[in-house]
Amino acid sequence: MFDPDIEKLTKEKLQSLQLERLKKMVRYAYDNVPMYKKRMKEAGVDPDKVRNLEDYSKIPFTKKDDLRDHYPYGIRAVPLERINRLHASSGTTGKPTVVSYTKNDLDTWSRLMARTYAAAGVTKEDIVQNAYGYGLFTGGLGFHYGAEVLGCTVIPTATGNTKRQLMMAKDMGSTVLAATPSYAMYLAEACAGEGYDIRKDFKFRIGMFGAEPWSEEARQRIQNAFGLRANDVYGMSELYGPGVAVECVHQNGLHIWGDEFLVEMINPDTGEVLPEGSTGEMVFTMLTREAMPLLRYRTRDLTRVIWEECECGRCHPRIMRIKGRSDDMLIIGGVNVFPSQVETVLMKMEGVGDQYQIIVDRDILDRLHVKVEVEEKFYNSGKYDPAKFKKKLVDEMVAVMTVRADIELMAPGTLPRTEGKAKRVIDLRKQ
Ligand SMILES: [Zn+2]
In this prediction, residue 76 carries a pLDDT of 95
How many whole angstroms separate alpha carbon 121 and alpha carbon 140?
20
421: pLDDT confidence band, cut at 50, 70 and 90?
confident
Give the CATH number, domain containing residue 384: 3.30.300.30
Query: Are 258 and 396 within one domain?
Result: no
Q: Dihedral angle at the C-alpha atoms of 275, 276, 282, 288, nearest 10 degrees? A: 110
**Cα 10 to averaged position of ligand 1 atoms, centre (Å):** 13
Query: Are 239 and 102 within one domain?
Result: yes
**Cα 312 to averaged position of ligand 1 atoms, centre (Å):** 4
**Cα 119 to averaged position of ligand 1 atoms, centre (Å):** 7
How many whole angstroms separate alpha carbon 78 and alpha carbon 370?
48
Query: Are 284 and 411 within one domain?
Result: no
**Cα 255 to averaged position of ligand 1 atoms, centre (Å):** 7
Among 82-96, 272-286, 287-301, 345-359, which is the least confidently predicted range? Answer: 82-96
Which of the pair, 259 or 327, is modelled with greater confidence? 259
How many whole angstroms separate alpha carbon 427 and alpha carbon 431?
7
How open is the CA angle 118-123-128, to the nearest 5 degrees? 95
**Cα 9 to averaged position of ligand 1 atoms, centre (Å):** 13
Which of 325, 341, 364 corresponds to the end of one domain? 325
pLDDT at 96 over 90: no
> SS3 of 277, please?
coil
How many other CB atoms sit within 10 Å of the CB of residue 237?
A: 21
Query: Are 250 and 320 within one domain?
Result: yes
In this prediction, residue 214 carries a pLDDT of 87
Query: Are 313 and 335 within one domain?
Result: no
Which of 302, 325, 348 corresponds to the end of one domain? 325
Mean pLDDT of the chain: 93
Across the strands, what pairs with 245? Answer: 234, 256
Element (H, E) at 255: strand 254-256
- Residue range 332-359: average pLDDT? 88
Query: Are 157 and 231 within one domain?
Result: yes
**Cα 291 to averaged position of ligand 1 atoms, centre (Å):** 30
Q: Which domain holds residue 353?
A: 329-430
Total number of domains in the chain: 2
In DSSP notation, 369-390 reads EEEEEEPHHHHTSS---HHHHH
Query: Are 229 and 141 within one domain?
Result: yes
Query: Are 102 and 24 within one domain?
Result: yes
In this prediction, residue 328 carries a pLDDT of 80
Among 19-28, 82-91, 165-174, 362-371, which is the least confidently predicted range? Answer: 362-371
* Residue 257 near residue 112 (C-beta atoms within 8 A): yes
> What are the pLDDT digits (tens) for 99-150?
999 999 999 999 999 999 999 999 999 999 999 999 999 999 999 999 999 9
How open is the CA angle 266-323-9, to the nearest 5 degrees? 65
- Residue range 397-417: average pLDDT? 90
Sheet architecture: strand order including 352-360: 405-410, 368-374, 352-360, 425-427
Query: Are 255 and 126 within one domain?
Result: yes
**Cα 90 to averaged position of ligand 1 atoms, centre (Å):** 33
**Cα 187 to averaged position of ligand 1 atoms, centre (Å):** 28
**Cα 315 to averaged position of ligand 1 atoms, centre (Å):** 8
> What are the pLDDT digits (tens) for 193-251?
899 999 999 999 999 999 888 889 999 999 999 999 999 999 999 999 999 999 999 99
**Cα 242 to averaged position of ligand 1 atoms, centre (Å):** 18
Query: Are 318 and 376 within one domain?
Result: no
- The conformation of residue 162, written as its DSSP 8-state character, comes to H
Confidence (pTM):
0.89
Query: Are 317 and 334 within one domain?
Result: no
Torsion 420-423-428-429 (CA) sign: negative
Torsion 43-46-52-56 (CA) sign: positive
How many whole angstroms separate alpha carbon 115 and alpha carbon 3?
7
Give the CATH number, domain containing residue 262: 3.40.50.12780
Which of the pair, 334 or 115, is modelled with greater confidence? 115
Residue type, 13: K
**Cα 254 to averaged position of ligand 1 atoms, centre (Å):** 8
In this prediction, residue 316 carries a pLDDT of 96
Which of 325, 344, 374 corresponds to the end of one domain? 325
Which of the pair, 362 or 145, is modelled with greater confidence? 145
How many whole angstroms separate alpha carbon 117 and alpha carbon 176?
10
First to last CA, the chain: 47
In this prediction, residue 265 carries a pLDDT of 96
Percent of the chain at pLDDT exceeding 90? 78
pLDDT at 59 over 80: yes
Query: Are 285 and 303 within one domain?
Result: yes
